[in-house]
Amino acid sequence: MSTKKLSDLAKTIRSKNAGTDKITFDVIFREFDAYELVKRSGALSRETVAAVLRIDPQRITDFVEYDPAYAIKFTILRDRPSGSPGDGDIFGAQQYAPFLDLEIDTTA
Residue 90 CB neighbours (<10 A): 12
Q: What is the pLDDT of residues 95-108, one digit of tens each?
A: 999 999 999 999 86
In a domain, 53, yes or no: yes
Rounded to 5°, the CA angle 89-92-95 comes to 90
DSSP string, 77-108: E-SS-TTSTT-S-TT-TTS-GGGTT-EEETT-
Domain count, the chain: 1
State the residue range of the domain holding 46.
3-101
Q: Provide the whole-model pTM.
A: 0.94
* 35-57 mean pLDDT: 97
For residue 76, the domain's CATH number is 3.30.70
Q: Return the pLDDT at 1.
A: 81
In a domain, 107, yes or no: no
* 1-25 mean pLDDT: 96
